[in-house]
Amino acid sequence: MSYQPPSGTRDLLPLDVAQKYWIEARLEAMFQRWGYHRIITSTVENLDTLMAGGAIAQSSVIQLQGDGPERLGLRPELTASIARAAVTRMAQVTYPQRLYYTANVFSRAPKGSQAGQREYYQAGVELLGTSGTLADAETLRLLLSCVKNLQLTDWQLILGNADLTRSLLQAFPERLRGTVRAAIAQLDRITLETLDLPDELRQRALQLMDLRGRPQDVLQTVSQLPLTPEQQAIVNELKSLLELLDRAKPASPVILDLSLVQSFDYYTGIIFEAVVNTPQGRQVVGKGGRYDNLLGVFDPKGRSYPGIGFMLNVETLHQALAGTGCLPEVIPPSDWLVVPKTPQAAIAAFQYAETIREAEALVRVELYLEPEDDVAVIRQRARDRNISRIAWITDTHPPEIEAVN
């Protein structure tokens, strides 16, 4: 019999939890400063909700066996669940709605894979009911503030636009469009060079794959393409957005990448990734984008509201911050050790510990539970656990307070 956790999952020990909380606490503080409020949605959802109208592949969802006819699963991301809650439970609220979350998500390992992570922890925001360049800029500048608050260095913001990329792909035959899209996303030049395409379209595909780099250079290149009025409008919006980001603090090293494709297919406008260079290599610590049709999937009358958001992967952030000196290296020690000196002093010891714990600020208090150990042994145990004060309790005299050296 195996008593190990299932493959793709892991236990978080106290130091892991302390470091995870350090990250989440700083993210939540930043979300709240920007006027976002926490929402908690169900870990288990109907499969139809999790698939978001077909935008999320059923194969990526870990499905559950329910008691009735409902098809259930574990959420692979939070945006669909929050969109469902917004239109079914928050119909009377005023917009825009600023919501944030910290939660675990689950993903099925790829077919044929023997390993791969299945449970992740994420923190993120959703800005619902508003569209336009200002909303996009707020979301991206909030992401920049989160990165700054975590003291991450050597990172980049990769920015694309799903609508523009999708429309540029319309020039390709429908039967090959998915293949071209996947090859561009995976930087697979060999596939593009060997596809059954006219030379003009093959060169267009290779050109699309190379639409990444300094924003000014990419915008100049894409402006030379035969753009429709709708495509030109998107390019103009990107220029306005980049101007707003140029004035952000901290300044963001932006890479404009019009070949960027996200794994979930509900995005309709800007899409983006935060990428950090670490000793382990280049890691995506966050991603997001605009989804202006998703809420309509869940509205009984088909009404939709614009939305944009991002998520940050807590575990990837943890890896990126490891060794930087930012994360706590030990679990927080207790502040007090309350010791009943005799069995008769137990009630007084419980009462004194409770009195200390009632302080407004967090105070960690341990009760010594062993029977009448030697005083020197108790002092050494307090030192070993980095406890700063001992309260010696009797049933006849006031507590004796001792600072532990």
Instruction: Decide if 391 contacts 400 (C-beta within 8 A).
Output: yes
Average pLDDT over residues 293-315: 90
Residue 113's pLDDT is 45
Closest by Cα among 137, 126, 131, 132 to 36: 126
pLDDT band for 2, please (50, 70, 90 cuts).
low
Instruction: Report whether the peptide linkage leading into residue 306 is cis, meaning its omega lies within 30 degrees of zero.
Output: no
Closest by Cα among 141, 112, 162 to 252: 141
Higher pLDDT, 359 or 248: 359
Q: How far apart are CA 210 and CA 168, in angstroms?
A: 13
Least reliable range by pLDDT among 49-53, 210-214, 326-330: 49-53
Residue 399's pLDDT is 94
The pTM (predicted TM-score) of the whole model is: 0.87
Residue 161's pLDDT is 94
Least reliable range by pLDDT among 56-70, 81-95, 105-119, 256-270: 105-119
Tens digits of residue pLDDT in 49-85: 888 877 788 888 888 887 777 889 899 999 999 999 9
Residue 89's pLDDT is 83
Residue 112's pLDDT is 47
Residue 114's pLDDT is 46
Q: Which amino acid, residue 232?
A: Q
Tokens 């793709």 found at: 8
Residue 288 phi, psi (nearest 5): 180, -165
Q: Does the pLDDT of residue 315 top 70, yes or no?
A: yes
